[in-house]
Amino acid sequence: MDRLDNTIRPYAWGSTTAIPRLLGTEPTGEPQAEMWMGAHPGAPSRTGRGTLVEVIDADPEKELGPDSVARFGPRLPFLLKLLAAGGPLSLQVHPDLTQAKEGYADEERRGVPVTAPHRNYKDANHKPELVCALTEFDGLCGFRDPLRAAELLDGLGVDTLKPYVDLLHAHPEEAALREVLTAILTADREEMARTVTEAAAACDRLGGAYAPYADIAHHYPGDPGVIAAMLLNHVRLQPGEALFLGAGVPHAYLDGLGVEIMANSDNVLRCGLTPKHVDVPELLRIVRFEAGDPGVLRPEAGPDGEEVYETPIDEFRLSRYVLPAGGTAHDLTLTTPQILLCTAGSVRAGEHELSPGASVFVPAGENAEVSGTGTLFRATVVVRRP
């Protein structure tokens, strides 16, 4: 079992206080957006044996187990994070596995450098993700019913939004959402900036259901993504609740601290709320224009006190243990690799004492007895037997 030394990423949207508060450290004044736990080459966790990439590369079957290597190859299939949003992240979608493989192969064939700002596919993998709230957590997830979106836009009283309101009323669901998002993203930038400014002023004035969009507009003045965001469901998670984001689902995190887990990929197509490249044709090919409830997840009770966040994804499985004072030890040994993360209290994992924010990598088959008083998240993979 290896204690992890993890990198904190200073993205501009990050909170300056949330991760330091959890870790019990002094804020630096700079944003601390994400703490990465895993073997992503961009910022692999460090251990006493080298980086986690080096550790796994030295003996994949020993570290990951033969079942995981056979199913996912000689790499850790997931990336675990602490995510601390102090402002909105970019509005984005992720491709499915087939789309990622095809898109990556196409850009490789065309010689688009992986580091190019207009590159869409950094790898050939999909990027489903799950975020579990540690504090109250705001986000946008999936499309609203078109008629509800029309009502929200119409309530602003902005004349230049009327064509979008009419489109949302005039077509079947998928066509309505596709046409409106396309119109927003392809509109004249100067005209759209004026529309966004007028809409933001109305959101400020009206408050209530419009308050999240006023805040988004404050961070991204004039950005078409402000209007696109109003097509999506606003969700406020309470601690312990989670969201699963599958392929093609537009989403953005707005504010709060959470534990996030995802397939080990960098593939993101952006819709707005960003100065980065927006490839509108490719984005429209990937987005699933389906309205529906965002589907807030609550953990399901499993054996031995484990609380599982069920998803249809095999590359990761996230669960939680809330260990009471005076409770018995739990044996978490598995034949698959694990990362254990403490988020509250004091938990002993093997020979390691874990305070909030501390984590360990547990190789496949390694003894993983935990005890103490606190909250422990467990990340692993799912290997389905034929």
Written as one string, the DSSP assignment of 340-374 is EEEEEEEEEETTEEE-TT-EEEE-TT---EEEEEE
Q: Are 196 and 226 in contact (CB under 8 A)?
A: yes
Q: Which residues are catalytic?
A: 270
Query: Both ends of the chain: CA-CA distance in Å?
Result: 30
Which DSSP state fits 297? B
Q: Are 5 and 47 in contact (CB under 8 A)?
A: yes
Ramachandran region, residue 222 (left: φ > 0; alpha: ψ -120 to 50; beta: rest): left
- Quick check: helix, strand or coil at residue 130? strand
Q: Give dist(CA 147, CA 259) in Å, integer.
A: 33
Element at 217 (helix H, strand E): helix 211-219
Backbone angles phi, psi at 258, to 5 degrees: -150, 170
